[in-house]
């Protein structure tokens, strides 16, 4: 299954659904500023670790449908920060 261009032309290789890198801007956006204010360095770590994790997911999306999906997601982060993450994810 390859990628397609406008007009139905086929690309030489499949369209890429994830990315190899993301920009690390020096000015904080609102979301990162909130995480740092609320969780300190742990919020900073989580923000960028989450971006790294999502870069490897198709369309920057990770679906959580089962408990095992939550466990896998949480294991992608240091166990030191796991309680903070779980408290925000689980009711």
pTM exceeds 0.75: no
Does 3 or 78 have the greater pLDDT score?
78
Instruction: For 28-85, write each residue's pLDDT tens digit.
Output: 789 999 999 988 888 888 888 888 898 888 888 899 898 888 878 888 876 555 566 5
Nearest by Cα to 55 from 81, 17, 8? 17
The answer to whether 51 and 60 have CB atoms below 8 angstroms apart is: no
Q: What is the pLDDT of residue 88?
A: 63
DSSP for residue 66: S
> Is the pLDDT assigned to residue 10 strictly greater than 80?
no
> Is the pLDDT assigned to residue 1 strictly greater than 50?
no
């Amino acid at each position: 299954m390859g990628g397609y261009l406008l007009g139905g032309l086929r690309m030489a290789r499949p369209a890429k659904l994830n990315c190899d890198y993301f920009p690390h801007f020096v000015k904080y956006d609102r979301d990162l500023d909130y995480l740092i204010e609320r969780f300190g360095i742990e919020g900073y770590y989580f923000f960028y670790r989450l971006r790294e994790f999502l870069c490897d997911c198709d369309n920057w999306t990770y679906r959580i449908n089962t408990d095992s999906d939550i466990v896998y997601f949480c294991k992608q982060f240091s166990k030191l920060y796991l309680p903070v993450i779980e408290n925000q994810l689980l009711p």
